[in-house]
Structure 1
Amino acid sequence: YVDRGMIPRTISFIFSELAQRSDYSYTLHISYLEIYQDSGYDLLDSANEKTSMEDLPKVSLMEDEDGRFHLRSLSAHRVATEEDALNLLFLGDTNRMISETPMNMASSRSHCIFSVAIEARKAGEETVRRSKLHLVDLAGSERVGRTGVDGQTLAEAKYINSSLHFLEQVIVALQAKSQGKKRLHVP
């Protein structure tokens, strides 16, 4: 239990904090998104257990009339306890794309985003406060020449490396913008 990862520790912390705040009522929802070869998949979709990835519905990014972005086809599961949230995490983890490579017996082939949405309402008030925490697990970059992968694993490595490169470009652009440098495009 001491060697728990960042997500289980965060779940535990959230529920511990909420238990100490009895003047509010809370509603929590969990979502778990996998990004595999530039497509999004719902790791908590019940179809995952009996359907191949190619046949699963893809999660798509949609913009509403107010300019806000939403993920279509991504389920949100209400949880009441730390155990409920951990069970969803473990269910999603079993649905992730994993392959064996020469460097790693269980190499994740995707990026994942575990999201916790929290709504808080103070007793006797109508105001609802909403917050969302996204915990991101990025696939590691791969030195294709060193690992000697080929076929499907090579194709996955190319997607992983290019997506990490694009993320780096976004971070560089945002940093330049925050420093007042003129930058026309944030990828």
Structure 2
Amino acid sequence: MVRMQTLSMKQMVFLMALAFAVSSCERSVENPRQPSPEPPKTQPEMTYIDLGNVTVGFGQAKGVDLTADGQPDLIFGTVLVGDPILKRDRRQYTVVSAQKRNLLNDATDQTPALHQRDGITAAHPGYLWWDLSSIVLAEKIVTYTNTFWQGNWKDAGHRYLPIQIDLQGKKYHGWVELSLPGAEEKIILHRAAVSKVPDVAVMAGL
């Protein structure tokens, strides 16, 4: 079953406010890939969610319900940030997480784009789990003379966003499979999975 949601105006305002607060700070081009934790030897039983290859184009936003409670746990959207100092526009493709819905953040508020079978655990080198995260997956920089992309997720194809859901103090790990083809200027949401077993590591994409 596809669990995608059309957002209310209140949710849209929340998304834009969080994303703008984070995007107003300048970032490094991208974070060098950190070593992933050792993947578990076996995959726990997972709940799989078909996201239907839904697309999020510029100016759009989609909520993803990972816990079947009728509320979005993640919101994928876009933000346009004008930079008058450097005289350029930044078209940002973002993800925002709800309370007790954790994403991995590094020192520059970026999150890793995992490969299949990478480990997702309570501890990830170079990152910390945070709820109420607002992360720029990738951004298109438009200047008077040039256009280019930057960010960990630029041109990502079927990569995995690690997630951690906190339910009554127990942590359930999982992932969202998505693509961000720069030439098409959109996020494509493929599928997601969350462990049915708390406080155990999982493998991305399985």
- Is the TM-score greater than 0.5? no
Q: Comparing both structures, which one devotes a greater share of its residues to helix?
A: 1
| TM-score computed with the length of structure 1 as normaliser | 0.29
| TM-score computed with the length of structure 2 as normaliser | 0.27
**Greater length-normalized contact order (CA 8 Å, ≥ 6 residues apart):** 2
Q: Comparing both structures, which one devotes a greater share of its residues to strand?
A: 2
**Rg larger for:** 1
